[in-house]
Amino acid sequence: MTASVIDGKAFAAKVREKVAAHVAHLTAEHGITPGLAVVLVGEDPASQVYVRSKGKQTLEVGMESFEHRLAADTPEADLLALIDRLNVDPAVHGILVQLPLPDHMNADLVINAIDPAKDVDGFHISNVGLLGTGQKSMVPCTPLGSLMMLRDQLGDLSGLNAVVLGRSNIVGKPMAQLLLGDSCTVTIAHSRTRDLPGVVRAADIVVAAVGRPEMVPGDWIKPGATVIDVGINRLPPDEEGGKGRLVGDCHYASCAEVAGAITPVPGGVGPMTIACLLANTVTACCRAAGLAEPEGLTA
């Protein structure tokens, strides 16, 4: 079997179109423009790239973008004071504090200072608890994007065996909760899992989010399974001195020979993350205003 390729770039473009249409409706009919505030502390190069991209895409869908860049040595109290101001700012419907934060800051404290209704990352402890108990919450963007692609590919996920590789708070754990919410039989596998190949071979759905380049070979994949590769890993530079290739957590060529469908890296899950951040911002805006939420953009 040769897998069909799940085009995350095209899917993300459709999500952004839906977001833009809803933003236009909110602005025209209700005089409300959703606003997203992104806070970056320090000069981490990868974070700078993400933040720039978030700001650009926010404006492209017609939303307001508020960027706050703080020096790496900013006292934690100053960041908390900024979050307090954003929490009460009526023009701000979503707040994202880019991670990682500098070492002198307590990320849990900072995240939990965000108003849960504006926590478009879905990292606040209240949102984690709401998701875990099947209540309406803000859902972390990468798992939400992965779930959208799985539903689009497979329809009803009920009863399917799903394996999530990785137990991070950002991807693995919320992904498992979402799959459970869609009535999958869910296994979370991690570095201590025994017989990992056997566990993965039993799965109709594999979500790989471990951050280890090409860790999952094709002979672990059940024929016809759907593979969502969340990993974005850069291989070491080649001999000509060029930048190393980007690869996922799955060995693409061998997995694509066996799987029914697979997301490529790049161009799979990656583009969905920011698209879902925009979707969460519109959702947060609608909830704050007591208006109907856009369809198909939430879990």
**Amino acid, res. 27:** T
The DSSP code sequence of 158-211 is TT-EEEEE---TTTHHHHHHHHHHTT-EEEEE-TT-TTHHHHHHT-SEEEE-S-
Q: Which of 18, 57, 119, 121 is catalytic?
A: 121
Residues 73-102 that bind ligand GUN (CB under 6 A): 96-99
Nearer to ligand GUN, 3 or 175 (CB): 175
Q: Is 107 in the site for ligand GUN (CB under 6 A)?
A: no
The 8-class DSSP code of residue 294 comes to P
Q: Looking at beta carbons only, is 125 or 292 nearer to ligand GUN?
A: 125
Shortest Å, Cβ 37 to ligand GUN: 12
* Gyration radius (Cα) of the chain, Å: 19
54 is catalytic: yes
The residue written with tokens 């697979």 in the block is 262
Q: Which of 18, 57, 98, 182 is catalytic?
A: 98
CA distances from 244 to 49, 70, 261 (A): 18, 31, 26
Minimum CB–partner distance for residue 142 and ligand GUN (Å): 6
Cβ(228)–Cβ(261) below 8 Å: no
Judged by beta carbon, residue 30 or residue 104, the one nearer ligand GUN is 104
Q: Spell out, one character per residue from 163 to 192, where the chain touches ligand GUN: x when CB under 6 A holds, - when not.
A: -------x----------------------
How many whole angstroms separate alpha carbon 248 and alpha carbon 270? 10
Q: Is 98 a catalytic residue?
A: yes
Residues that bind ligand GUN (CB under 6 A): 96-99, 121, 141, 170
